[in-house]
Amino acid sequence: MVETAVREPTRVRSNSVVVLGALISLCVVALMSIVVGSNQLPLDAVWHALFHYDGSYTDAVVRDARLPRTILGICVGLALGLAGALLQGATRNPVADPGLLGVNYGAAVAIVFAGVLFGVQAPTALIWFSFCGALGGTVLVYLLGGSASPVRLILAGVAVQATFVGLNQAMQVIDTNSLDKMRYWLVGSLANRDVPALAPLLPFLIIGVVLAITAARGLNAIALGDDTARGLGATPGATRLRALLAVGLLCGTATAAAGPIAFVGLMIPHLVRMLVGQDHRWVLPLSALLGPVLVLGCDVLGRVLGSPGELQVGIMTEILGGLVFLFLVRRLWGVRR
């Protein structure tokens, strides 16, 4: 008891340093996301556009293209990082990731069906289809996989995903038109999104974030095991439900806004736990801060590597995250056996 009382302030202090570092790196990456591109901008031009907007060409580039893209990247990264931390906490599964759980293809199937069956083409309407699809995919996977064992949840995700992919391909084979649209949508990207049209999604993002933050204490209890948690007066079932609802909302908004971006939710919480330990009151906010750093960083990297075109951010996270996933499985399962 005495020991924790002594330790607590230093922990808070060191964690505050980490949060400060995360904030600074977020600012740096956001600035890079505005500066770097096929049209490199000097810093003073960016400053001018942000604070002394006068409608010149570079000002228009910053305000109409780079800035919305950066804001989109921040929102998507925040949602995905937070969703990953929630999912890993709620299922006590170190390799849980929204991208592995049928979320992406749930959204994809909803979009394809919207186009082919209902003739919906307007981006504003498609957002809602992809949102519902992502939410539906999450619920379906959870219903099938339960939370009994980590492997089951992943496999349930794979199973649902495989089914969705099949449905999707069926539609694409029948209708070449939908293929032409889908093949671009299926690779998550921050480019060419109509950001103002995405504003109606914002309330869902906010609700998701609030639900997530309020679940932190409950997740700490779940980490001790369900029985212990119940003994301490927590309600694991209710916490889990709240966390998964938040995951559905967060992933739904992110996927509707930027298409499928996998593995951000897998990598970020691991990094965060290395930095600040297991306390979800720290893990959740920091995941929300570092998620955008990763998404924007991958986006910028994709622009640099792919120039004069660009590599979509979904590809970058998939390659990077896939390697991290393989590493984690090797390490964690090596120890357990």
* Contact positions vs other proteins (CB under 8 A): 95, 99-100, 144-146, 148, 151-152, 154-156, 158-160, 162-163, 165-167, 169-170, 172-174, 176, 179-180, 183-184, 186-187, 262-263, 312, 314-315, 318-319, 322-323, 325-326, 329-330, 333-334, 337
Minimum Å gap between C-beta 58 and other proteins is 29
The alpha carbon torsion through 216, 8, 230, 144 (nearest 10 deg) reads 40
Q: Which is nearer to other proteins, 7 or 330 (CB)?
A: 330
Q: Which is nearer to other proteins, 34 or 100 (CB)?
A: 100
Query: What is the rounded distance in angstroms from the CA atom of residue 255 to the CA atom of residue 99?
Result: 10
C-beta of residue 250 within 8 angstroms of C-beta of residue 205? yes
Q: Which is nearer to other proteins, 144 or 241 (CB)?
A: 144
Residue 248 φ/ψ, nearest 5 degrees: -60, -45
Minimum Å gap between C-beta 63 and other proteins is 28
Query: What is the rounded distance in angstroms from the CA atom of residue 130 to the CA atom of residue 137?
Result: 10
Minimum Å gap between C-beta 85 and other proteins is 19
Query: Among 248, 246, 247, 257, which residue's Cα sits nearest to residue 207?
Result: 246
H-helix or E-strand spanning residue 160: helix 150-174
Q: Which is nearer to other proteins, 132 or 155 (CB)?
A: 155
Minimum Å gap between C-beta 208 and other proteins is 24
Query: Among 276, 229, 292, 257, which residue's Cα sits nearest to residue 84?
Result: 292
Minimum Å gap between C-beta 176 and other proteins is 5
Tell me how far CA of residue 94 lies from CA of 89, 238, 243, 305, in angstroms. Answer: 8, 21, 16, 31
Query: What is the rounded distance in angstroms from the CA atom of residue 278 to the CA atom of residue 126?
Result: 38
Q: Which is nearer to other proteins, 95 or 244 (CB)?
A: 95
Minimum Å gap between C-beta 310 and other proteins is 11
Q: Which is nearer to other proteins, 33 or 312 (CB)?
A: 312
Query: Among 25, 39, 98, which residue's Cα sits nearest to residue 263?
Result: 98
Q: Which is nearer to other proteins, 97 or 220 (CB)?
A: 97
Whether omega for the bond prior to residue 285 falls within 30 degrees of 0, making it cis, is: no
Minimum Å gap between C-beta 161 and other proteins is 9
Q: Which is nearer to other proteins, 53 or 333 (CB)?
A: 333
C-beta of residue 130 within 8 angstroms of C-beta of residue 261? no
Q: Residue 59: helix, strand or coil by DSSP?
A: helix
Minimum Å gap between C-beta 108 and other proteins is 10
Residue 296 φ/ψ, nearest 5 degrees: -65, -40
